[in-house]
Each structure stands twice: as structure tokens, then as C-alpha cells.
Amino acid sequence: MRLEGKKAIITGAAQGLGRAIALDFAAEGAEMLLADIQGEKVAQVAALIGENGGRAEVVEVDVTDAAQVEAMIQSAIALFGDVDILVNDAGGSGTVGIQHIEDVTEEMWDAQIDLNLKGTFLACKAMVPRMRKRGYGRIVNISSSSAKGNFGALGTSAIRLPYASAKSGIIGFTYQLAKDVARDGIYVNAVMPGFILTEEGARVRGRYEILNENDQANMTSTVPLGRAGRADEVAKAVTFLASDDASYTTGTILEVTGGR
């Protein structure tokens, strides 16, 4: 198992990609602290892992709050002694159907930047000094193909502007932090998911499934592989970057986009 004996923190682990990453980490032998603002939902993920013989503890956290992020790190250290892996998955694109940039409020902008970019910064800021002291660490940030811009049934609303900006910021943040800490034994990479359908009931899947067949076909036609991706396919990429198999890989943005 590629992560046997490793201790990890995964933010945004209650659903979607974070949930899939947690399940894959568990299958690969990692012990985890699963963090999410949705306490009850993330506890269900931890319970599922426990039922299958793994170990996952939970903490409810708002990643935009520095004090809560620090408390999350302290909880992990109290549980495990050390933390080897940090996965920054907490984020979201919002649901408001705004069509024009002039309708994007400062509040919408700030909320997206805080959740998707500031949250990643705060977690890394809290964790890197501890990893540096040990001379070991693996950080995987989650960006999005939205960083390249979106067009089509799920990408036309201007609410994507702050989201795309935040996810693009994660790319630059990852490149720079990787260079800053490379000599400290800390590897920093990011995964860029494309059009991914996660578990039943998830928002993107729901929005896709209510489209007519023609609109669904139009969406998948923009993907060279001709289909939507699965959450487990993204999780496998994260697991690779978090493992010692990626021993010569840092400052990399790994696209899981079907070629899109």
C-alpha cells in the first residue's frame, strides 16, 4: 500500500473529490484527519472508512478562519504525532446564476477567493513550518480546469469569474511554494480536475443529469476522451502525488481533464 503508515489531513472531505480522496487514501493505508465545515457529513465518510478497517478522525473547520485552521493542525498532531500529507480540497464555485461581470458583487468575489485560495494558503502556512522541522512533507492542492476558463452549459455564468481566478491563483501559489520549500524536503503539487461527476446527489452531477441528451452530448464533446471523469480518477492522481512514488515530482500541476 502506497500510503501505509502515513498521516494525512484532507480538507473538504465531506463530499465530492475530498470524499473520494479520503476513501482512496484509506485503501492505500493512510490514517487521516478529515476536515470539513459540514461536520455531520464528514463524520459519515469517517464512519465508512472505519467500517472497512481504516482509521479516520474528523474535525469541523472553516478553512477561511486562521484560528480554526491552526486548531485543525493541532488536532492532527495530538492524534497522530506528526502529519506527513496535507490535501487542500476545501472549496466550491457557488450556485448563483450571474451572467455578467457587472453583476458580480465584491461579496461574491471575496467569498470565492477566501474559500478557494485563502483557505489553501492558511493551511499551508500552518503546516509548512512543522513539515520543515521534520524535513518531510507532501502537499497536494486542488485547482480546477476552470482556471483556463469555461464555456458551455456549466461554464457560461459570470459567477465562474471569481472561482476561475481563485483556482488559477492556486496554480501560481503551488509553483512558488514548491520552489520555496523544495530544499526542506517538502513537495508541493496540485491536481487540476476537469469535468468530473462525483457521487449521486452531488450538485454538478445533478445539474448535468437534468440536461437533455443533446446538451449532455455537447458537454462531453468538448472532452477529447468523450466522457466525464470520475472522482476516483482524480483521487488516484492525488494519491500518487502524496506518495513516495512521486519522489522527483514537485511544482507540478497534474491535469485530470480527459485532454480538455
User: Which domains, from first to last, does the chain contain?
Assistant: 7-256 (3.40.50.720)
Which residue shows C-alpha cell 461574491?
A: 108
Q: Residue 137 pLDDT > 90, yes or no?
A: yes
Distance CA 242, CA 90 (A): 17
Q: Residue 201 pLDDT > 50, yes or no?
A: no
Distance CA 197, CA 137 (A): 30
Here the contacts of 126-130 (C-beta below 8 Å, separation 24 or greater) are: 126/66, 126/69, 126/70, 126/72, 126/73, 127/9, 127/73, 127/83, 127/86, 128/177, 128/181, 128/186, 130/73, 130/77, 130/82, 130/83
Average pLDDT (132-161) is 82
pLDDT value of position 218: 74
Distance CA 10, CA 18 (A): 7
Q: Residue 102 pLDDT > 80, yes or no?
A: yes
Q: How many CA atoms lie within 13 A of 19 on its CB side?
A: 18
- Number of neighbours of residue 136 by Cβ within 10 angstroms: 16
Average pLDDT (6-11) is 99
Say whether 166 sits in a helix, a strand or coil: helix
The amino acid at 191: V
Q: Which residues are catalytic?
A: 163
pTM for the model stands at 0.93
Average pLDDT (219-247) is 94
pLDDT in tens, 159-190: 688 999 999 999 999 999 999 999 999 999 99
Any residues with CB less than 8 A from the CB of 65 and at least 6 apart, and which?
Answer: 122
